[in-house]
Amino acid sequence: MERMKPMFEYTGKRVVVTGGASGIGLAIARVFAQQHASVVIVDLNQQAADGAATEIAAAFDATVESVACNVGEEASVADAFAKIGGPIDVLVNCAGIAHVGSLASTSPADFDRLYNVNVRGTYLCMRAGLAPMLEKGSGVILNMASIAATSGLSDRFAYSMTKGAVLSMTLSVAKDYLAKGIRCNCISPARIFTPFVAGFLAKNYPGREEEQKKELAASQPIGRMGTPEEVASLALYLCSEEASFLTGVDYPIDGGFFNLR
């Protein structure tokens, strides 16, 4: 009997993760390195990116690079991807920011700030990462959307707008480059307990963090928030050869949010 190769094996693959120095992006960078990929961490914070790269490389005996980039600025993205060079087998767009506010309370400055990072940043990085994939004739792009893209959430006006755009861009890219050997999907998480969420609770609910954490957890029927590592495991699958039949998919990881409420 022919021996089966290990599942989710990324030896010889090069994976670029934006927003890779913290939260979900950091967990994704770690899990790809653990599966023997060569990883490039792209982040606004050079020091954080360097620290993450050093930690992951030591933990998994992996090749991990770090590149500073402001994903919303065209020149910064062009410079970053020139430093990265080719080939790029997988691009995971995790860089993003959040905002709490309704239509009335969201200022034009807030709106533009969210758009610049979450929408324009995803667009610029996809566009920059596309060229080496086209040259190779294969590649996978994975974007980070949200349940906010397709579900009405209170006080998430600008954030929901940006994640809806990420979903639409994902479907468009999947359609346009299907014949070029490039797959494009997105993940839509419900609430994930990241350092950002912890910081938000500490800033807005001092002394009541645990109480508010339980309230956020209760919005998922499963009774808790997700973890960055759970999202990372899904990302590992969606970008793998085992998922080669999947493209143009918005994949929820939501603790039953959509179907069991």
Per-residue pLDDT of the chain (261 residues; tens, 9 = 90+): 566 678 899 999 999 999 999 999 999 999 999 999 999 999 999 999 999 999 999 999 999 999 999 999 999 999 999 999 989 999 999 999 999 999 999 999 999 999 999 999 999 999 999 999 999 999 999 999 999 999 999 999 999 999 999 999 999 999 999 999 999 999 999 999 998 888 878 887 888 989 889 988 998 999 999 999 999 999 999 999 999 999 999 999 999 998 888
Q: What does the alpha-carbon distance between residue 38 and residue 27 come to, in Å, rounded to a whole number? A: 15
Q: What is the pLDDT of residue 2?
A: 62
Token pair recorded at residue 99: 């905002």
Q: What is the pLDDT of residue 110?
A: 97
Q: What is the pLDDT of residue 1?
A: 56
- Per residue in 86-135, pLDDT (tens digit) is 899 999 999 999 999 999 999 999 999 999 999 999 999 999 999 999 99
Q: What is the pLDDT of residue 5?
A: 75
The model carries a pTM of 0.95
Contact 243, 143 (CB under 8 A): no
Q: What is the CATH number of domain 14-189+226-247?
A: 3.40.50.720
Token pair recorded at residue 22: 């913290």
251 phi and psi, to 5 degrees?
-100, 110
Contact 103, 54 (CB under 8 A): no
SS3 72: coil
Q: What does the alpha-carbon distance between residue 54 and residue 42 come to, in Å, rounded to a whole number? A: 14
Q: What is the pLDDT of residue 116?
A: 98
Mean pLDDT of all residues in the chain? 95
Q: What is the pLDDT of residue 81?
A: 98
Asked if 237 is an active-site residue, the reply is no
Q: Which of the following is catalytic: 10, 115, 123, 159?
A: 159
SS3 46: helix
Cα-only R_g, the chain: 18
Q: What does the alpha-carbon distance between residue 14 and residue 16 come to, in Å, rounded to a whole number? A: 7
> Would you say how long the chain is, in residues?
261
Handedness of CA 75, 80, 83, 87 (dihedral sign): negative
Q: What is the domain partition of the chain in residue ranges?
A: 14-189+226-247
Please tell me what DSSP assigns to residue 4.
Answer: P
Angle, helices 195-204 vs 209-218, to 10°: value is: 120
CB atoms within 10 A of CB 66: 24
